[in-house]
Structure 1
Amino acid sequence: MKGLNDIVSLVNNFLTSYILVVALVLGGIWFSFNLKFIQVRGFKEGMKRTFGGLFNKKEAAGADGMSSFQALATAIAAQVGTGNIAGAATAIATGGAGAIFWMWVAAFLGMGTIYAEAIMAQKYKQVGVDGEVTGGPVYYIKAAFKGELGKVMAAVFAVLIVFALGFMGNGVQSNSIADAFYTAFGVPQFVMGAFVAVIALFVFVGGIKRIAQVAELVVPFMAALYIVGSLIVIIAHGNRFLYALQSIFVGAFNPQAVVGGAIGATVKLAVTKGIARGLFSNEAGMGSTPHAHAVAKVNHPVEQGFVAMVGVFIDTFVVLNMTAFVILTSLDLSKVVDEATGQTITGAKLTQAAYSTVFGKGGDIFIAICLFFFAFSTIIGWYFFGQANIKYLFGPKAVKIYAGIVAVCIFLGSLAKVEIVWNLADCFNSFMVVPNIIALFALTNTIKQVHRDYFDNFKKKQK
């Protein structure tokens, strides 16, 4: 296992240090400028469409898709997962407080990328042979590249996302749940893994309707719970808030100047860990959330593009920031070490330690409960994304087999070591970016045409 992890780490470091950073940053800059920073200009409209549909139950999920809010809830369910609790903590522990700054940069640029992803997913969505609306990168990849090249790239992406999210990714989520519940309650990891696998399978067999209903119910509740709990801790350590904010900006460019910061942090570590965890958290540019946005019932693709941007904002600038400021205001990272190994505590354990400064043992319990909701909702979302690609590759009949395999991966993931699981997930996530970003670049003119059509034609007709 150690030998395998060394190889995976080597590949992962190359991907995250070069391919991932370059692809995401260039993609974000490219679409931000080409769309005239739509993440700023369209933010108000996105908030209006998002929260205006919060209590709209008129368009429930069905064979013809989901309501716009249900699609966003499914996307956020996938985005707001262990990356916001364990991933943010890991980024801070290894890259220092400055890693959070680079997560912000990745998210801001990613809002432009995910806007492009969402409108292309909407434009090229289809009705499958089973009568259900489906969509995602495989369809706009084929639109970008005609003939065999498009088919091969689409198939490669489909295989990558099934392994990255459906199998490996859901193992990561299950692992975090099991680890947190073992720390908080002493529940054996295999017991928690089996429990999560069973209830996940129950949701899977309910199809798109049950997935949408679960996401719509769980996402607002879990976000509110985590935000309230986090604010209590931040306010309790309010005298350190300005220091935490300063350490993020200083640490982004000069990590060693941050007193009590992560040991050995460098600018390169801050950037790579921030960008990598930023991707794992908000998923912009990865090609995952377009599967949810594709099935939204909207009158124009751009309407869902606005909503998709809000998903990234909520994930990073709201939920992830809660974790970051809780850790940075309550802990001295240079002193938070594992007594057994002498190494800096990382992952969910670091976040639990931060909450425990106010809640005591209740901090472990609070994070375990939040992690359960965050990670379980992500499992549901990632299953849905993988399912769309299983249908594309093998047809609807393969879905039941896929559901069973995912359930097994959820159980096995709860038993795996955190380091190897995180590294494998990062590798597959990085590989997924490549065909997705290449297709989006190739579709730039189409993206701009759909974008302009909304403002020049559709929106004027609505007045």
Structure 2
Amino acid sequence: MSSFADFVSQAGSFVWGPFLLIPLLLGTGLFLTIRLGGLQFRKLGPALRLALVQRSEKPRDGSGDTARGDISHYQALTTALAATVGVGNIAGVATAIGLGGPGALFWMWVTGLVGMASKYSEAFLGSRFRVTDEKGEQRGGPQEYLKQGIRGPLGKVLAVAFALFAALAAFGIGNMTQTNTIAHSLDDTFGVPPLVTGIVITVLVGVVLVGGIKRIGAVTASFVPAMILFYLLAGLLVLATNVTAIPDALALVFTDAFTGTAATGGFVGSTVALALQFGVARGLFSNESGLGSAAIVAAAAKSHHPVRQGLVSMTQTFIDTIVVVTFTGLVIITSGAWYSGSAGAAMTAEAMSSGPLAQVGGAVVAIAVVFFALSTVIGWAYYGERCATSLFGIRVSLPYRAVFTLVCLVGALWELDLVWGVADILNGLMALPNLVGLLLLSGLVARETRAYLKADPDLTQPPSSLGDYTPSR
């Protein structure tokens, strides 16, 4: 096992090293930000209104919503949030800061800000190139837009590579890391044996997955907003207690991002390279921008134009990273838990156990972990299944769900470090073909985005006034 663990560690360092995924991820996000004219900054307000206030497309003729899709764009957003607001926001942030120092939070922010352009682009493409499967449901994502948008063998190879890596990655990022963290958190906080936790998770996930995307959308729309508000309220109480430490914490984040962090307390110190590596890796793990995953559920949303769905999906990265991750990071830094020597969710629990939550902080984090992680498992089950069916047909849908459900039990009992290492590698392999595709298809995205926003700059026009959407060639 030790030799395999060493291999996983070395492979992860290469994939997330300075010569492969980090420059490609940040470079792609920056390139798309420039090519789209800073879309994520210019249109964030209208996008948030469309996503959180309007919640669904207005009917074209007043008789009903004729937009093609299986779920509302609000349900698509909450499903994407369910898949991303998981243990990456609790244990992942703590891991990044614990290994890379406070400066890692800065690189998580950078990943999120430029990643909003990547998230917009992949969701746009997912909606634009979606197809109808044998069940009459929408299927889309990189496995479709890479194949359809990039002509010739290259597009097909990229599409197959993404689908294969995503179908496998779902067992890591969306399953084992989540159930593993739930099991350890409940064991440490309440003394619940991991085997019992694994069995309960397996049953709950199986019940939800039987209903497919419509049940997944209904479930996530019901509790995802509540779970995020619960966690943010807890973080706000702790930050209110440590409010005087916030300015120094922010200064530390910015300075350590470019100077490294000296050893202090139980923290062994880190370099700028470590802060960058773990900040970007955990940032992507948390918000999944550039990964291509959110495009899969964006394709299932009822939307009259890909631009509208892309903007709705873009808000998911903002909520996940700029809001939830920031709360976690500041709670950890202002409380001093980052140099205590704790790791993962235990560090976040220690940070939450300061001030008014001194007696219940651990329980608050444990409860948040359960809901965050369970929602992620549900969302990623759909991602993995859609990719598996694109490779092998609709007949593998139920077997994939069954295997995915059973792996929940395996994840609850496996070793934490190895699970995170495997998840990082699969994340990287999944992101590579998608990032290449985003670069190659950026011209199409920019052209159609400009055309739509010229007619409806504030996303206020009813779809009927804009005519039917006709994809450009």
Measure the CA separation in 1 of the matches of 2:182 and 2:432: 30
Match of 1:345 among 342, 346, 367: 342
Measure the CA separation in 1 of the matches of 2:334 and 2:168: 37
Distance 1:302 1:11, change over 3 A: same
Task: Could you tell me which runs of 5 or more consecutive residues in structure 2 were left unpaired when the two chains were aligned.
Answer: 468-473
Aligned partners of 2:338 and 2:347 also within 8 Å = no
Aligned residue in 1 for 2:352: 355
Measure the CA separation in 2 of the matches of 1:416 and 1:432: 23
* Structure 1 position 54, deviation (Å): 4.5
TM-score by length of 2: 0.92
> Which segment drifts farther, 61-70 or 94-103?
61-70
Give CA deviations for 1:365-422 in whole Å, capped at 9, x if unaligned.
1111100110000001111111111221122221111011111211100111110000
Distance 1:355 1:238, change over 3 A: same
Aligned residue in 2 for 1:162: 167
Match of 1:102 among 107, 122, 130: 107
Residue 189 (1) aligns with residue 187 (2): no
RMSD, aligned CA: 2.2
Task: Could you tell me which runs of 5 or more consecutive residues in structure 1 were left unpaired when the two chains were aligned.
Answer: 337-343
* Structure 1 position 246, deviation (Å): 1.3
The aligned amino acid for 1:210 is R
* Structure 1 position 322, deviation (Å): 1.2
Distance 1:2 1:431, change over 3 A: same
* Structure 1 position 442, deviation (Å): 1.2
- The 5-angstrom pairing of residues 236-255 of structure 1 reads 236-255=241-260
* Structure 1 position 56, deviation (Å): 8.8
Size of the aligned set, in residue pairs, is: 455
> Which segment drifts farther, 63-72 or 213-222?
63-72
- The 5-angstrom pairing of residues 76-225 of structure 1 reads 76-167=81-172, 169-225=174-230
Aligned partners of 2:98 and 2:343 also within 8 Å = yes
Judging by fraction of residues, say which structure has more helix. 1
Residue 9 (1) aligns with residue 20 (2): no
Measure the CA separation in 2 of the matches of 1:443 and 1:333: 41
Aligned partners of 1:53 and 1:68 also within 8 Å = no
Residue 364 (1) aligns with residue 359 (2): no
Aligned partners of 1:95 and 1:265 also within 8 Å = yes
Aligned residue in 1 for 2:433: 435
Aligned partners of 1:157 and 1:432 also within 8 Å = yes
Match of 1:264 among 246, 262, 269: 269
> Which segment drifts farther, 229-238 or 143-152?
143-152
Aligned residue in 2 for 1:376: 374
> Which segment drifts farther, 84-93 or 349-358?
349-358
* Structure 1 position 30, deviation (Å): 0.8
Give CA deviations for 1:164-193 in whole Å, capped at 9, x if unaligned.
114563111000100110011000011101
Give CA deviations for 1:252-293 in whole Å, capped at 9, x if unaligned.
112336976942211001111000000000000011110111
The aligned amino acid for 1:345 is S
Measure the CA separation in 2 of the matches of 1:234 and 1:167: 32
Aligned residue in 1 for 2:470: none
* Structure 1 position 7, deviation (Å): 0.4
- The 5-angstrom pairing of residues 304-343 of structure 1 reads 304-334=309-339, 336=340
Measure the CA separation in 1 of the matches of 2:221 and 2:421: 30
Aligned residue in 2 for 1:397: 395
What's the secondary structure of 1:289's corresponding residue? Answer: helix
Distance 1:305 1:62, change over 3 A: closer
The aligned amino acid for 1:428 is L
